[in-house]
Structure 1
Amino acid sequence: MEAKQQRARHRRRKAGLSIGIPVAVAAAAGMAYGTDLGVFGEDAQRSASAATAPPAWADDVADGFASVNSQGQNGTYGGRDGKTVTVKTLADLEKYATAPEPYVIVVAGTINMDPKGKEIKVASDKTIVGSGTSGQIVGGGFFLGQGVHNVIIRNLTIRDSYAGEWNDKDHDFDAIQMDGAHHVWIDHNDLRHMADGLIDSRKDTTNVTVSWNKLSDNNKTFGIGWTENTTADLTIHHNWFRETEQRNPSTDNVAHAHLYNNYLQDMPNTDITTSYGNYARGKTKMVLENSVFEGLKNPVTKDSTAAVVQRGNVFNGTSGRNESGGTAFDPKNFYKYTLDKAADVPALLKSGAGPRTSIGTTASAGTSTKASAADTTLTVAKDGSGQFTSVQAAVNAVPANNTSRAVISIKPGTYRELVKVPRDKPHVTFQGTGASRKDTVIVFNNASGTPKPDGSGNYGTSGSATVAVEADDFQARNLTIDNDFDEAKNQSLNGHQAVALRTAADKVVLDSIIVTGDQDTLLLDTQSKDKLGRVYVNNSYIVGNVDFIFGRASAVINKSVITLKKRWNGDSAGYVTAPSTAAGRKGILIANSTVNGDVSASSFHLGRPWHAGGDAALDPQTTVRNTSLSSAIKSAPWTDMSGFSWKDDRFAEYKNTGPGAGSASGDRPQLTDAQAADQEIGDWLGDWKPSAS
């Protein structure tokens, strides 16, 4: 900104405050329209029948060991080469799941297994996926037998085959059982309360990836082995194990077991007590990285014949065995992967594990279930394998005043460029297609004081943005937007504000992204002071130090991690928010999130009022609620700015936790329950309900 800146066994769960926004959904084959060449040119993809064209998520492929080519199978992509069918009955589910042909099978409702405990024998080349959060399998599950391969089980709730006996030895009622299968991806499911295992990977089943699942309320949770051979390769990452007694997982004779960024949680004072966490048995070789173990007994155990290499794990309130030793393997010799910080894992999984509203659906909420023949995908790739080699070139190809969504599918790579989505190009999605949001990076290094190359002056704060969005209904998913301006090397420059992302539009969705910089990282603005600009940030990371979330938009930051960063000279001092809200409008709401970072205690303010241009009529607002605050937050978290007192504007907290939280005082206003009821996410967004499209 331009203003001068200073340096249970059976338990009920409470419903969380949320709006249905997905974690990353990899962009896929889209559909063009118009003439034979389509309005996007000859490289745009031709239109296809909505009845047979696979939706975007159907092109997602597995990462980890399920992505490794072996046994004649090149990665795991399920039924994407076949038809997409929607099922609502057990008969139809079984018909397509057992068929010899490839299918993408969308489960659009609750299917009760009959008889209880039934496990459908899935054939090769299948994707079985829940439609949003509606796909549920109750009282049974799936069985993948010898030689079955290339199967994706995704976005389902599989639950409640429990037969009344906790340590049940009579009912082999699993959610997912695999005996001798290979190349299987189990992703974004909610698995719970089964009579036997939630997942059983047995009898040399290999090339399996288990990712982003919620596993809860179970005894024998995830068992791997039942073999004397040591041939299996499994990747287990970003899973939330909660209230699961044993096999979390138990890995017996696994050649390569790679476990990372998992969250194992045993809640106090419940009916279920976890007996052990990750267990390496037999001749298993395990690499265990950046996972979090909370409240567990015996978090990591191993047999004398097994090898466990631990790196970067966090143990909170654990007791008993925590073991490592031996020589394992380097997972990067098999596949690429990116670790999230262990400190971020609980918040990341609480918001991102389990079924997503965007997966298994073909349209936004409230629209037809048919895919629009006008939606188009444009592919960007640095190596020339796409239609464009720069993001801006793809934006330029979107027709002015387009009326349908244009998905710009950006392959992994670093794109050093300035990108602008102008006002006359609404309905644009930036979609990173890597396995991680860190794989696709758009970056530049302009600052407010950087001279323009044409000699017409400096860029200014808003002009410094790496990505500038001025068009309504913009979405960005599964990528990083960065401003890497080097303050230390540019101390002589007048103006160090360096924006990574600027939005000046309405109905903007930023989902599962990273926005990183130093001063003024994320500018959430509107087209003009009298215009509404709503922004929904979900399941994302925002990194910076001074006023790094700022502007006059009505912005919600939900289920995200806000990371505090030291200044260029190593000092810990800064401000999270600087709202410049118009009177009568909502400002910045941070909800259900985490504020942390490697900075000194009591060194950061939560915010200060930015009266842009000295406008006393503005009424800046920041509310921080139901959020975990690290010790970096000051006990008096709000402060004045440029002669304006924060006490004259709207700054408050509600039910925050963590060492940086505090009780109500004159320096720390807290909302009452009645006030908080009027400061929910829905109050910020009004009649707009963000959804995947």
Structure 2
Amino acid sequence: MSIARWITTAATVAVTALASSPAAAAGGPAAGGTAAGGTAAGGTGRPAGLTAPGTVTRPVLSRAEAAPFVPANYFGFSGPYAAPVADPWRPAPIREAPPDFVVGGRGFATVQEAVNAAFRKGGTKRLYIAIRPGTYTGTVFIPAGTPPLTIYGIGNPRLAFTVDAIITPAAWAELVNPGGSRYAQGDPAWDMFQSCATRTSTNAGLCATVVWGQSTDLQLKGLTITNTLLDTVDRGTHQALALRTDADRTQLEEMHLISRQDTFLANANDVERIARVSVRNSYIEGDTDFVFGRAAAVFDHTRFHLVSTRKPSGGVIFAPNTAPLYPYGFLVTHSLITADAGYKAAPTGFLGRAWDQGAGTTGYLPGVTPNGQLVIRNSLIGEGFTTTAPWAPAATTARPFTASIEPGRDLNDVNHNRLWEYANLMQPGATPATTSQGELRTN
């Protein structure tokens, strides 16, 4: 069953269960649910704080407030954050055309070799790389200047590598390029490799990724990308990216991205300019800030799965670091947010937190420090998450989460967080998040 169909089926089952429960029929919370913050005035049994405007720890948008937070607006602008340019992007489903290059079988032995060939072919026409079934070990760097490129899998091939951000840049260089066997001076990705190998920091940082794309109009479909560090380390800070994308108009479909901390970085490499990312019908797994970054990204019909195998409490899914004056960071719509049995037994998971990037020494500076923006709407949230305060203090600064609930509130007030919900459905055993109109939407 496809991920999109699985999500739709799960949502339908949940709606049916909620509608048929005795408590729902009586006008109260769903059977087995607990009201977040008590019941609303008037004794209706509707959870207080789950209708707009919500609470300062769990804000909810009204229908009017939610109206701008749709894919067309997240994808509607390009250029500098300071002066966005109307530039509608309407990503169509990724097409699997006959390949220009093949990896596996009698084709290239590595994905990197095929990427290098595509770069060298050049031009403006879209090129296609097909990857045959199998596991391909090693990093893949897709440099800026590569023609529009589609990399798709046949039979869900797996791209895998083990890399931990805590190693030194020199150790990283030897790990990803042993004896100079993978990247050499003159190769298309040499500059990307060198930018990490020559870092003056004490660790590899965000260079610790399996696949790294810097090219505009990159498409990835039908691949599993795994940073296989996984549970081999303690619950401490071990960034281990599966995928990092830096450029505008990046598309992912039917992808499986698996790691623990920092699984997917939807980045804008130029901190002054907008980068847009579309993720559809995919699966992303991790335990700490495992979907993060500055991009204007829309996640549609995607499952986010929080796991406890390395970090049994306090896990966080989203960590956007949106430019402080730009209104569109991450949008999650028609998706599924789940946690494993460990979190279901002890619900301490967080939906997300802001990433106050660069403010470790100064503290959060309103209007200067990134202020993560995220709306989760029309989605199904499973068990395992804290219900009264599902948003954690900010990364880097530990800035406490707080949202405005004042009438006429400014949704982009730099003095408050910008993490919101709208019209979500809680899995049976929890309570439905409704708008002020009492809607319960699944499509």
* Paired residue total: 311
Work out whether residues 562 and 596 of structure 1, in 8 Å CA contact, stay in contact via their aligned partners in 2: yes
User: Which of 494, 506, 517 pairs up with 2:259?
Assistant: 517
User: Aligned residue for 1:640?
Assistant: 393
Counterparts of 1:629 and 1:266 in 2: how far apart (Å)? Answer: 10
Q: Is the 8 A contact 1:541 1:562 kept in 2?
A: yes
Q: What SS does the aligned partner of 1:399 have?
A: helix
Structure with the higher helix share, 1 or 2: 2
Decide whether aligned partners of structure 1 residues 625 and 661 sit closer, same or farther in structure 2, where only a CA change above 3 A counts: farther
Question: Match for 1:378: what amino acid?
Answer: F
Match of 1:542 in 2: 284
- The answer (yes or no) to whether the contact 1:566–1:573 under 8 Å persists in 2 is no
Q: 1:419 to 1:459 in 2, by over 3 A?
A: farther
Contact 2:150 2:219 in 1 (8 A): yes
Go from structure 1 to structure 2 and tell me whether the alpha carbon gap of 1:241 and 1:540 turns closer, same or farther (over 3 Å shift): closer
Is the aligned partner of 1:505 residue 2:247? yes
The AA in structure 2 aligned to 1:654 is Y
Cα 1:540–1:365 change in 2 (3 A) is closer
Instruction: After TM superposition, list the pairs within 5 Å mapping 1:259-298 onto structure 2.
Output: none
Spell out, residue by residue over 1:38-86, the C-alpha distance to the aligned partner (whole angstroms, 9 max, x if none). Answer: xxxxxxxxxxxxxxxxxxxxxxxxxxxxxxxxxxxxxxxxxxxxxxxxx
**Structure 2: 5+ residue stretches without partners:** 21-88, 175-196, 403-415, 438-442
Give the aligned partner of residue 315 of structure 2.
574
| 1:406 matched to 2:127 | yes
Aligned pairs for 1:669-684 (under 5 A) are none
- Decide which of 96, 107, 114 is 1:387's aligned counterpart: 107
Counterpart in the other structure of 1:475 = 219
Alignment of 1:347-386 (within 5 A): 377-381=100-104, 385-386=105-106
CA contact (8 A) 1:441 1:479 kept: yes
User: 1:651 & 1:241 partners in 2: Cα distance?
Assistant: 24
Is 1:611 aligned to 2:375, yes or no?
A: no
State the shift of 1:495 in Å.
4.8
Alignment partner of 1:419 is 2:187: no
Q: Taking structure 1 as reference, are residues 619 and 661 closer, same or farther at Cα in structure 2, changes over 3 Å only?
A: farther
- Contact residue 638 and residue 646 of structure 1 kept, 8 A: yes
Cα separation, partners in 2 of 1:239 and 1:571, compared to 1, 3 Å = closer
Which of 156, 163, 166 pairs up with 1:449? Answer: 166
Query: Post-superposition shift, 1:458?
Result: 5.7
Asked if the contact 2:11/2:380 (under 8 Å) is kept, the reply is no
Shift of 1:488: 3.5
Seq. identity, %:
29
The answer for the alignment partner of 1:326 in structure 2 is none
CA contact (8 A) 1:619 1:649 kept: yes
Determine the structure 1 residue equivalent to 2:295: 553
Secondary structure of 1:613 counterpart = coil
Q: Distance in 1 between matches of 2:424 and 2:328?
A: 20
Q: Is the 8 A contact 2:7 2:301 kept in 1?
A: no
1:496 aligns with 2:238: yes
Is the Cα contact below 8 Å between 1:376 and 1:405 reproduced in 2?
Answer: no
Secondary structure of 2:209 counterpart: coil
Whether the 8 Å CA contact 1:538–1:559 is kept in 2: the answer is yes
Sort the Cα spacing of 1:560 and 1:366 in 2 relative to 1 into closer, same or farther, 3 A.
closer
Query: In the alignment, which residue of structure 1 is the partner of 2:185?
Result: none
Q: CA deviation at 1:398?
A: 1.2
Which residue type is aligned with residue 640 of structure 1?
Answer: P
Are 2:328 and 1:600 aligned?
A: no
| TM-score normalized with structure 1 length | 0.41
Contact 1:652/1:671 (<8 A) preserved: no
Matched letter for residue 124 of structure 2: T
Flag the structure with higher strand content.
1
Residues 503, 459 of structure 1: alpha-carbon distance in 2 compared, 3 angstrom cutoff: farther
Distance 1:241 1:559 in 2: 8
Q: Give 1 or 2 for the bigger CA radius of gyration.
A: 1
2-side partners of 1:649 and 1:608: how far apart? 9
Residue 643 of structure 1: CA displacement?
3.3
Q: Under a length normalisation based on structure 2, what TM-score does the superposition of the two structures give?
A: 0.62
Shift of 1:649: 2.0
Question: Displacement, 1:453?
Answer: 3.9
Name the aligned partner's letter for residue 632 of structure 1.
G
Rounded Cα–Cα distance in structure 2 between residues aligned with 1:458 and 1:418: 21
1:445 Cα deviation after fit: 1.0
User: How far off is 1:366 after superposition?
Assistant: 11
Q: CA deviation at 1:239?
A: 9.6
Q: Does 1:654 align with 2:422?
A: yes
> How far off is 1:662 after superposition?
5.2
Give the Å deviation of 1:590: 1.0
Task: Return the letter of the residue paired with 1:380.
Answer: V
Correspondence 1:189-204 to 2 at 5 A: none
Q: 1:500 is paired with a residue of what secondary structure?
A: strand
Cα deviation 1:561-608 (Å, max 9, x = unaligned): 11111142x613300100100021411111101111313232211111
Query: C-alpha separation between the residues in 2 aligned to 1:241 and 1:627?
Result: 10
Equivalent pair of 2:254/2:281 in contact (CA under 8 Å): yes
TM-aligned CA deviation for residue 631 of structure 1: 1.3
Given the superposition, is the C-alpha separation of residues 633 and 495 from structure 1 closer, same or farther in structure 2, using an over 3 Å criterion?
closer
C-alpha contact (below 8 Å) 1:476/1:509 kept by paired residues: yes
**How has the CA–CA distance of structure 1 residues 459 and 444 changed in structure 2, closer, same or farther, with 3 Å as cutoff?**
farther
Asked if structure 1 preserves the Cα contact closer than 8 Å seen for 2:374 and 2:418, the reply is yes
8 Å contact kept, 2:307–2:343 = no
Aligned amino acid, residue 475 of structure 1: Q
Change (3 A) 1:458 1:511: farther
Shift in alpha-carbon separation, 1:609–1:387, aligned structure 2, 3 A: same
Deviation for aligned residue 1:661: 6.1
Local SS of the residue matching 2:215: coil
Q: CA deviation at 1:529?
A: 1.3
**Partner Cα distance (1:661, 1:587) in 2:** 27
Counterpart-to-counterpart distance in 1, 2:304 and 2:16: 27
> Is 1:630 aligned to residue 390 of structure 2?
no
Distance in 1 of aligned mates of 2:250 and 2:8: 33
Higher relative contact order (CA 8 A, sep 6+): 2
CA contact (8 A) 1:551 1:581 kept: yes
Once the two structures are TM-superposed, the CA of residue 266 in structure 1 deviates from its matched residue by 12
Per-residue Cα deviation, 1:275-296 (whole angstroms, up to 9, x for no partner)? xxxxxxxxxxxxxxxxxxxx9x
* Conserved 8 A contact 1:565-1:572: no
- Shift of the 466–266 alpha-carbon distance from structure 1 to 2, 3 Å rule, reads closer
The runs of 5 or more residues in structure 1 that have no matched partner are 1-210, 215-237, 243-261, 270-294, 296-363, 665-669, 674-680, 682-693
**Change beyond 3 A, Cα 1:263–1:426:** same
Q: Confirm or deny: 8 A CA contact 1:557 1:591 kept in the other structure.
A: yes
Distance in 2 of aligned mates of 1:596 and 1:268: 18
Task: Give 3-state SS (helix, strand or coil) of 2:284's partner.
Answer: strand
CA contact (8 A) 2:424 2:432 kept: no
